[in-house]
């Protein structure tokens, strides 16, 4: 009986969220100044570093790290947030397709059950430089972001 009540409440919450905010029906949580694609290039022609979040709207850890993510997006214009929403099976399926399109499917498959995980990923290769779990210390993101930038630049240096 308790399982039925919990499922019913989850269904009502999902319906309410979808009806009250049409953008929440999509698999990205909207951020100020954030676009839902990591393929956007900077003015220099380089791809932005991917900050991939395994996200669920019911996850307390995701809410915990949100201020840190917002700060990273604001302070690092070379970073693009990609939220891989696993809140529902349909959103998880859409996120899996997005991860495949962005060549970060290995990161997604390894972390899809670990909400509030953040991967700092080299966009050209899809290589995760670092994966942090429910981490609010912004300083711990800076080094991996710089490492990802270096690796991205190395991928664009022509062989001699």
58's tokens: 């019911």
* Contact by Cβ (8 Å): 71, 100: no
Domain count across the chain: 1
Inside any domain, residue 11? no
Residue whose C-alpha is closest to residue 53's, from 41, 45, 64, 43: 64
Q: What pTM was estimated for this model as a whole?
A: 0.69
Inside any domain, residue 3? no
For 47, the domain range is 23-155
Inside any domain, residue 160? no
Inside any domain, residue 10? no
pLDDT tens, per residue, the chain with 160 residues: 776 776 666 666 656 555 544 444 343 344 433 334 434 444 445 689 999 999 999 999 999 999 999 999 999 999 999 999 999 999 999 999 999 999 999 999 999 999 999 999 999 999 999 999 999 999 999 999 999 999 999 887 776 6
Inside any domain, residue 83? yes
CATH of the domain at 119: 3.40.30.10
Inside any domain, residue 116? yes
């Amino acid at each position: 009986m308790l399982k039925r009540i919990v499922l019913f409440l989850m269904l009502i919450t999902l319906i309410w969220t979808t009806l009250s905010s049409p953008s929440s029906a999509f698999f990205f949580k909207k951020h100020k100044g954030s676009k839902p694609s990591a393929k956007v290039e900077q003015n220099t022609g380089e791809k932005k570093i991917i900050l991939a979040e395994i996200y669920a709207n019911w996850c307390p850890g995701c809410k915990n790290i949100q201020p840190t993510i917002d700060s990273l997006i604001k302070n690092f214009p070379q970073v693009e947030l990609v939220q891989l929403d696993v809140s529902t099976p349909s959103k998880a399926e859409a996120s899996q397709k997005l991860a495949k399109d962005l060549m970060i499917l290995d990161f997604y498959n390894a972390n899809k059950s670990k909400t509030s995980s953040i991967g700092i990923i080299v966009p050209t290769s899809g290589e995760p430089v670092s994966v942090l779990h429910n981490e609010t210390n912004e300083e711990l993101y800076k080094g991996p972001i710089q490492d990802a930038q270096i690796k991205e630049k190395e991928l664009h240096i022509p062989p001699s």
